[in-house]
């Protein structure tokens, strides 16, 4: 008769297999990434997001009801929000509070803290750090720069995606490029040894300090010379389909700033094509600047026109259009050294007047909360100016005054661009990039893509014709060389 039972070995093997299966099942259910954990995370994030959305709606309504309302007035527990459900208020009221109009997580559950960080919800630790930063930095940009609490130049990355959402949640309204200017905080200089390692930016317009959790694309711009005689440029301004194709091209090159030429008489609220163009750019997180190119602005009467009158007109335009139709500032692509009447290279007094123009422009632009960008040739570093009877390098002086300088570095290889910007030029006391680093000035490295009579080495025209996008690869290599020296940006002549 055969034995129909099971052996001890088979029993042990069966038990081991069952234990393994049970372990796997338990891990799938309650492990760090298990079904139950994922369900808890999903529920927490959905509920907290719903609470935040109700808070945003409540704040928006308060702004609508009272023009003088500030979100900082809203403080307390979740019951402060009238439309929030009693269930949510009960379930999360012990660890979610409202401070200065922001939703704050005050609990100590490590898992929930991480989920809040992923949602962009401030924790109590971050709030305390931000409060310290805001108290020390104050609301005076010049004083904060002098004390090295913030950098002299604006944050050199595009404000888009989660960063933009976080900023707009913090300030309680959409970003307005005509007044919101963001500067990187030198956290260690402000907080010393208590610095947590987080990165923050300071909004000059509101005094808010805002945490930056991830970097986006570096600022990259293009000149857009709109002339009456150019059919394509006029189509871009007036034809929706052509304009959208234009913006698709800019997206391919990661362009997020446009310097658009318009005559002073065109900067009016009646110019619907300009307003529509700016609005379209804003929807794509692209900032728009006015572009000017006169070469005679060192004349006394013209200097006033190019500074005071221009910024007054721009300020008036911005005040009478919607927030998403406003212009951020002026880019001066005005090659005054080409004006033979000035004898720029031979006459140090003319160069002194050039410095005077830049100084006055920066001061007046700041008084209007607008930006000023100056285009200069790479060889300007070979010339001097005088200050109180002392000779000083002209590029050194300009980078002391300005936040941003656009260097015309028209070459088509990394090595050639570096030879102009990183390496010290013959006859120059120091390199362009060292002056920019020492004076905390952003260098916009300008390159050309249009066909040039000066030779193939001046422009990326040939490279872009054969392989569109090749300029991006070269600039990425250039950026690697700049990365450990100072912040830099790029300007392309695409249009």
Residue 454 sits in a domain of what CATH number?
3.20.20.80
Return the closest-CA partner of residue 112 out of 40, 30, 27: 40
Residue 397's contacts (CB-CB under 8 Å, 6 or more residues apart) are 355, 385, 387
Give whole-number Cα distances, 176 to 267, 279, 319, 404, in Å.
Answer: 18, 12, 11, 20
For residue 368, give its domain range.
220-493
pLDDT digits (tens, 9 = 90+) for 276-329: 999 999 999 999 999 998 888 888 888 988 999 999 999 999 999 999 999 999
Tell me, yes or no, whether 210 and 228 share the same domain.
Answer: no
Tell me, yes or no, whether 163 and 277 share the same domain.
Answer: no
Q: Which two tokens mark 343? A: 């004898």
Q: In what order do the strands lie in the sheet with 122-123?
A: 96-99, 102-105, 122-123
What is the predicted pLDDT for the residue at 495?
Answer: 44
Burial group, residue 344, by CB count within 10 angstroms (0-12, 13-18, 19+): buried
Q: Which of 85, 119, 153 is the endpoint of a domain?
A: 119
Tell me, yes or no, whether 281 and 388 share the same domain.
Answer: yes
Return the closest-CA partner of residue 337 out of 304, 365, 295, 374: 295
Tell me, yes or no, whether 390 and 344 share the same domain.
Answer: yes
Q: Which of 190, 215, 240 is the endpoint of a domain?
A: 215
The 10 Å Cβ neighbour count of residue 27 is 12
Are 169 and 56 in contact by the 8 Å Cβ rule? The answer is yes
Q: Which of 186, 215, 244 is the endpoint of a domain?
A: 215
Residue 14: inside a domain, yes or no?
A: no
Tell me, yes or no, whether 304 and 411 share the same domain.
Answer: yes
Residue 417: inside a domain, yes or no?
A: yes
Tell me, yes or no, whether 401 and 475 share the same domain.
Answer: yes
Residue 263: inside a domain, yes or no?
A: yes
The 10 Å Cβ neighbour count of residue 360 is 17
Tell me, yes or no, whether 98 and 195 share the same domain.
Answer: no
Residue 81: inside a domain, yes or no?
A: yes
Tell me, yes or no, whether 474 and 365 share the same domain.
Answer: yes
What is the predicted pLDDT for the residue at 27?
Answer: 59
Tell me, yes or no, whether 200 and 307 share the same domain.
Answer: no
Q: Decide the pairing of beta strands 199-203 and 209-212.
A: antiparallel
Domain total in the chain: 3
Residue 76's contacts (CB-CB under 8 Å, 6 or more residues apart) are 97, 98
Tell me, yes or no, whether 150 and 294 share the same domain.
Answer: no
Residue 2: inside a domain, yes or no?
A: no
Give whole-number Cα distances, 476 to 361, 410, 447, 470, in Å.
Answer: 32, 16, 13, 10
Residue 469: inside a domain, yes or no?
A: yes
Residue 32: inside a domain, yes or no?
A: no
Return the closest-CA partner of residue 100 out of 135, 75, 82: 75
Low pLDDT (below 70) residues in the chain: 1-6, 23-36, 483-495
Tell me, yes or no, whether 203 and 264 share the same domain.
Answer: no
| H or E, element range at 99 | strand 96-99
What is the predicted pLDDT for the residue at 491?
Answer: 56
What is the predicted pLDDT for the residue at 485?
Answer: 65
Residue 28: inside a domain, yes or no?
A: no
Tell me, yes or no, whether 470 and 407 share the same domain.
Answer: yes
């Amino acid at each position: 008769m055969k034995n129909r039972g099971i052996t001890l070995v088979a029993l042990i093997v069966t038990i081991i297999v069952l234990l393994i299966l049970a372990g796997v099942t338990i891990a799938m259910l309650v492990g760090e990434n298990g079904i139950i954990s994922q369900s808890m995370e999903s529920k927490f994030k959905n509920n907290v997001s719903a609470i935040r959305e109700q808070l945003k709606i409540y704040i928006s309504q308060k702004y609508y009801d009272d023009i003088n309302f500030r979100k900082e007035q809203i403080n307390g527990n979740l019951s402060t929000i009238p439309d929030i459900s009693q269930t949510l208020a009960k379930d999360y009221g012990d660890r979610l509070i409202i401070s200065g109009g922001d939703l704050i997580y005050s609990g100590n559950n490590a898992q929930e803290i991480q989920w809040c960080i992923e949602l962009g919800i401030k924790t109590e630790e971050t709030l305390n750090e931000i409060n310290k930063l805001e108290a020390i930095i104050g609301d005076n940009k010049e004083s904060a720069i002098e004390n090295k609490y913030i950098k002299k130049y604006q944050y050199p990355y595009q404000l888009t995606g989660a960063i933009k959402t976080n900023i707009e949640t913090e300030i309680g309204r959409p970003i307005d490029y005509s007044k919101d200017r963001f500067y990187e905080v030198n956290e260690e200089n402000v907080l010393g040894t208590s610095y947590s390692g987080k990165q923050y930016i300071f909004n000059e317009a509101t005094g808010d300090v805002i945490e930056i959790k991830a970097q986006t694309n570096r600022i990259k711009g293009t000149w857009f010379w709109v002339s009456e005689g150019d059919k394509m440029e006029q189509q871009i301004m007036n034809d929706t389909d052509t304009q959208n194709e234009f913006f698709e091209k800019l997206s391919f090159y990661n362009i997020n700033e446009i310097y658009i030429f318009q005559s002073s008489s065109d900067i009016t609220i009646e110019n619907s094509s300009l307003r529509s163009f700016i609005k379209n750019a804003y929807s794509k997180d692209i900032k728009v600047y006015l572009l000017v190119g006169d070469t005679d602005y060192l004349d006394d009467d013209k200097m006033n026109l190019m500074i005071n009158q221009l910024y007054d007109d721009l300020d008036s335009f911005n005040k009478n259009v919607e927030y998403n139709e406003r212009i951020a500032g002026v880019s001066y692509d005005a090659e005054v050294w080409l004006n033979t009447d000035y004898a720029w290279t031979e006459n140090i007094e003319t160069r002194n007047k050039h410095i005077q123009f830049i100084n006055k422009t920066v001061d007046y632009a700041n008084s209007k909360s607008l930006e000023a960008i100056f285009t200069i040739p790479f060889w300007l570093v070979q010339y001097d100016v005088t200050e109180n009877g002392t000779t000083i390098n002209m590029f050194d002086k300009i980078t002391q005054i300005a936040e941003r300088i656009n260097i015309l570095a028209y070459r088509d290889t990394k090595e050639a661009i570096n030879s102009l910007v990183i390496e010290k030029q013959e006859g120059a006391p120091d390199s362009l990039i060292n002056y920019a680093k020492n004076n905390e000035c952003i260098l916009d490295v300008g390159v050309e893509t249009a066909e040039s009579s000066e030779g193939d080495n001046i422009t990326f025209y040939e490279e872009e014709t054969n392989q569109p996008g090749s300029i991006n690869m070269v600039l990425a290599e250039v950026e690697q060389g700049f990365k450990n020296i100072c912040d830099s940006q790029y300007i392309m002549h695409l249009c």
